[in-house]
Amino acid sequence: MDSAVPLFQMEGISKRYGGVRALEKAELVVTSGSIHAILGENGAGKSTLIKVMAGVVAPDEGRMTMDGREVTFLSPAAANQAGIVCIFQELSLVPDLSVADNIVISDPPKRFGMIDRKAQRRIAEEALARAGAADIHPLALVKDLPLSRRQMVEIAKALARKPRILILDEATSALTAADVSKIFSVLKRLRSEGLALLYISHRMNEIAELADQCTVFRNGRNVASYKAGSKSDNEVVELMIGREYSHIFPAKPAAVPAAAAPRLEARKLSWTDRLHNISLTVRAGEVVGLGGLDGQGQRELLLAFFGVLRGLSGEVLIDGKPVAIRSPSAAREDGIGMALIPEDRKTEGLMLPMTVRENLSFAALDRLSKGGIIDRAAEQRLIDDMVGLLAIKTAGLDIPVGALSGGNQQKVVIAKWLMRQPRIILLNDPTRGIDVGTKQELYQLMRKLADAGAAILFYSTDYDELIGCCDRVLVLYDGAVKRELVGAEITERALIASALNIHGEESPVGLGARA
Amino acid sequence: MKDWRYWLAEQRGTLLALGIFIVMFIIYTSNHPAGFTANVVQTAANKGVLLAFVAMAQTLVVITAGIDLSVGMIFLLTNCLASWLVVGTPMQTTLGVIAVLAVGLLCGAINGAIVIYGRLQPIVATIATGAVFYGIGLLLRPFPGGSVNEDLADAMTGRVFDVVPASLVALFAIVLVIWVPFSRSVLGRAAYAAGSSETAAYMSGVPIRRGKFAAYTLAGLLAAIGGLFLTFFTYTGDAAYASGNAYTLFSIAAVVLGGVSLFGGKGSAIGAIFGALAFRTIGDLLFVFDFDPLWQPLFQGVILLIAVSLGAFALFRVRNRLEWFL
């Protein structure tokens, strides 16, 4: 390949989703025979970038060239055709088909117009062997495989398509250490065969071992490109930070004394392979943050408290007494008084076609009714209180909640739970996709509720929020609490460093059990 | 694991339906006054294949995670049409059969186009088209009547070599000509993939739309073959609303009994055929036991509930309760 013309190049690529800019004039140069790492924190634009490359989304502006010729991809199939294959995180396997069916799915071998099963089997076995996963049976159904095996099938499937550019998006996140080392040797071999590999990972040690070239993204732009190994971990973190926007966060009160009895406590909580020995405490009046990269078990931890997960091991204590919460309706009972503000308000928080009024009173109906009949007057009083407290902007209580703006929808979700006066509030990334003004109101509200005596556990993917709102932050990595930051220790640098599981200048403190 | 165990796991639903059918059929024939004779088998086969064809049609659509509530009405419409067209000289009869099958294909293609390109939900779209198909059938045959080429009809409902019911032979041939090629073609696999996970299929560049369209269209064809056989058995065309609805609902029951998942992506038409035969046999069991026929719907319902519950055991293994609702 002529080194003057890069294999693939992106110039001035921009992409907006509604008012949010995901990519802003992004540039990227990919050369064959190298492994290129893409770094950036949550929401920096990495995933949009690869979706554009893989033909999943169309950019609003900018151009892409391959071998110097301009290309546009209208679908993933078109990108595949051009030799760009992306391994998404377990997104592209069809669960009810066999491993072999999945590996050849884009272009099955044919004989007399029908799929040639013998040839398919052969191709699948070759691809699995190439991916170092010959232990997977080609006839097994994908849905019966554990996550780590599925990921290997994804990789085999990508290899069977004979890519020129292979994109790995967090492809190792579900793999065991043994698989990771196998994959690494496969990737290095592919590089020597002249492929270009784009490697997106949050694991700095993997990037150090693999990458030739690194590009850092921040706020939808590529902010730096450098030869791998030419910058220290701290410098890289520095590049990833550096956003400049400020929220008005409410002032934090003096810390709740560490001696105070915890309202909510977890002891050695574990669940399948997603949560490992999590211990933590939240006291009344405290806002405790859950930090870390997306998908490190934060969501599962909140669901575990809320009684959604089965087969949980370890103990949950409320006010010092062990409890077994077996369903969300048990979690909201008076003795426990828990509320969960879910991440996806559209499916888990609201019934969109139903009215604001109905949505508001769902969680509190048992309190508002006598003998199964709803006390309309009491309902109205409570709803009026909530609409006033949260300043919900709605044209009326009897319009469908789906007609409200995202921020006001989220307020309805929160108000719905506040109507029960919860003592423990779990928040799962509640400000995602809502406007700055509403965000500020939510921060104020959170603090107000804590001051009124609630214990709050708050997961956010936005580091500024964790810094601005929380008294303490627990950073999760791979389903375990890796670090606890208290008070002034909560800085962006410390959050990112511990989210990436690299040790900054401060040494890690004892995990959670400070009470 | 050995290859055969994977094969067995894949065929579990089909084998279970086959098992239920065999058990029911043994109970049926051993209590039948005439016993296991060619006549008894022929009668049972002729009743069973009608539902089997409609159930095959339903299977194709259910595999794509859709549902076709118009299959029973396509079945009636083609019955009414056949009672006009499948008559006369062998040449005329052949043309008539081709026309009837073409109308079935067209009905299926209309369903497919509305669901795939019109983006309507299958349940609503097919209720509406089903009413239209029924309406046309009613215009063709306001009153039961018409006729059919009796030589052909007798050949298709009789016995081959005086032993094997001809309708079963026809069913077998249709499986070979339609189902086997479909299930092994790229379009068939696309239908399965779309039913199992449409996003994953899209991301993998699978021809989802063509696969689903093929499924709906072939479903129309299979329902028309059913309609043709109905005409062979009854010698008339009859736009009987209740009968059309019953076939639609029974086809769904047969599909579920046959191990086809209503969530899509899983199951085979062969399973649905055994499901249909088993369902029919269950209905007939009451007659050989001399029960009041009034008990038939209740009895069929209970058996169906039990069979469907077998498939629900997997839910006990779910660890995240939110997955119950997926």
Find out whether A288 and A474 touch, Cβ atoms under 8 Å: yes
Q: Give the CA dihedral A384, A389, A391, A393, nearest 10 degrees.
A: -30
Same domain membership, residue A365 and residue A268: no
Domain residues for A36? 8-240
Q: State the Cα–Cα distance between residues A373 and A366, nearest whole angstrom.
A: 9
- pLDDT tens, position by position, B180-226: 999 999 999 999 999 998 888 887 878 899 999 999 999 999 999 99
Residue A495 has a pLDDT of: 86
Mean pLDDT throughout A31-42? 86
Beta strand A196-200 with A34-39: parallel, antiparallel or unpaired?
parallel
User: What is the CA A345 to chain-centroid distance, rounded?
Assistant: 15
Residues 13-52 of A with CB under 8 A from B: none
Q: Label residue A509 by pLDDT band (50, 70, 90).
A: very low
Same domain membership, residue A308 and residue A178: no
Q: Nearest-CA neighbor of A86 among A147, A191, A159?
A: A159
Residue A513 has a pLDDT of: 36
DSSP A355: B
Task: Indicate yes or no: CB of B192 within 8 angstroms of CB of A115.
Answer: no
Residues 284-313 of A with CB under 8 A from B: 300, 303, 307-311
Q: State the Cα–Cα distance between residues B154 and A299, nearest whole angstrom.
A: 66
Distance set, CA B180 to CA A36, A100, A121, A140, A224 (Å): 46, 19, 19, 21, 56
Find out whether B326 and A95 touch, Cβ atoms under 8 Å: no
Q: Label residue B115 by pLDDT band (50, 70, 90).
A: very high
Q: Does A294 reside within a domain?
A: yes
Same domain membership, residue A185 and residue A66: yes
Q: Does A246 reside within a domain?
A: no
* Residues forming a β-bridge with A8: A30, A66
Structural domain tally of chain A?
3
Task: Indicate yes or no: CB of A139 within 8 angstroms of CB of B205.
Answer: no
Is the pLDDT reported for residue B316 higher than 80? no
Beta strand A8-17 with A114-115: parallel, antiparallel or unpaired?
unpaired
User: What percent of chain A shows pLDDT beyond 70?
Assistant: 92
Residue A361 has a pLDDT of: 84
Which residue in A97, A271, A308 is closest to B196 by CB distance? Answer: A97
Q: Does A18 reside within a domain?
A: yes
The pTM of the whole model exceeds 0.90: no
User: Which tokens sit at A14?
Assistant: 């921009």
Mean pLDDT throughout A411-426? 88
Handedness of CA A365, A370, A375, A378 (dihedral sign): negative
Residue B49 has a pLDDT of: 94
Same domain membership, residue A306 and residue A404: no
Contacts of A333 (CB under 8 A, 6+ apart): none
Same domain membership, residue A79 and residue A15: yes
Which of A96, A144, A150 to substitute to test the interface with B, most B CBs within 10 Å? A96
Is the pLDDT reported for residue B39 higher than 80? yes
Mean pLDDT throughout A188-192? 90
Q: State the Cα–Cα distance between residues B230 and B252, nearest whole angstrom.
A: 19
Name the residue of chain A whose CA is nearest to B261's CA. A96
Residue A80 has a pLDDT of: 85
Task: Indicate yes or no: CB of A96 within 8 angstroms of CB of B195.
Answer: yes
Q: Nearest-CA neighbor of A407 among A433, A388, A385?
A: A433
Task: Indicate yes or no: CB of B202 within 8 angstroms of CB of A140.
Answer: no
Task: Indicate yes or no: CB of A141 within 8 angstroms of CB of B9.
Answer: yes
Using the 3D structure, point to which of A404, A421, A438 is the last residue of a domain.
A421
ipTM surpasses 0.85:
no
Q: State the Cα–Cα distance between residues B47 and A264, nearest whole angstrom.
A: 65
DSSP A246: -
Mean residue pLDDT across chain A: 84
Q: Does A250 reside within a domain?
A: no
Which residue in A105, A271, A348 is closest to B206 by CB distance? Answer: A105
Residue A508 has a pLDDT of: 42
Residue A90 has a pLDDT of: 56
CATH label of the domain that carries residue A74: 3.40.50.300
Q: State the Cα–Cα distance between residues A75 and A56, nearest whole angstrom.
A: 6
Residue A248 has a pLDDT of: 63
DSSP A98: B
Query: Who wins on pLDDT, B75 or A130?
Result: B75
Mean pLDDT throughout B81-105? 93
Same domain membership, residue A143 and residue A19: yes
DSSP A402: G
Q: State the Cα–Cα distance between residues A48 and A200, nearest whole angstrom.
A: 12
Is the pLDDT reported for residue B79 higher than 90? yes
DSSP A400: B
Task: Indicate yes or no: CB of A106 within 8 angstroms of CB of B205.
Answer: yes
**Residue A482 — φ and ψ, nearest 5°?**
-95, -25
Q: Nearest-CA neighbor of B108 among B48, B155, B150, B56?
A: B56
- pLDDT tens, position by position, A106-127: 888 888 888 898 999 999 999 9
Same domain membership, residue A426 and residue A414: no
Q: State the Cα–Cα distance between residues B310 and A241, nearest whole angstrom.
A: 54
Q: Nearest-CA neighbor of B42 among B139, B142, B169?
A: B169
Is the pLDDT reported for residue A243 higher than 60? no
Is the pLDDT reported for residue B110 higher than 50? yes
Same domain membership, residue A417 and residue A270: no
Per-residue three-class SS string for A132-153 = CCCCCCCCCEHHHCCHHHHHHH
3-class secondary-structure state, position A284: coil
Residue A250 has a pLDDT of: 80
What residue type is assigned to position B94 of the chain? T
Is the pLDDT reported for residue A235 higher than 60? yes
User: What percent of chain B shows pLDDT beyond 90?
Assistant: 49
Query: Residue A105: its chain B contacts at CB < 8 A?
Result: 189, 193, 201, 204-206
Residue A473 has a pLDDT of: 94
Q: State the Cα–Cα distance between residues B268 and B43, nearest whole angstrom.
A: 25
- pLDDT tens, position by position, A434-443: 766 777 788 8
Q: Label residue A512 by pLDDT band (50, 70, 90).
A: very low
Same domain membership, residue A236 and residue A166: yes
Same domain membership, residue A155 and residue A103: yes
Tokens 């900054």 map to which residue? A504
Same domain membership, residue A25 and residue A64: yes
Q: Does A277 reside within a domain?
A: yes
Q: In what order do the strands lie in the sheet with A34-39?
A: A84-87, A165-169, A196-200, A34-39, A213-218, A221-227
Tokens 């008539």 map to which residue? B96
- pLDDT tens, position by position, A297-329: 898 999 999 988 888 899 999 999 999 888 888
Q: Label residue B313 by pLDDT band (50, 70, 90).
A: low
Same domain membership, residue A314 and residue A276: yes
Task: Indicate yes or no: CB of B201 within 8 angstroms of CB of A91.
Answer: no
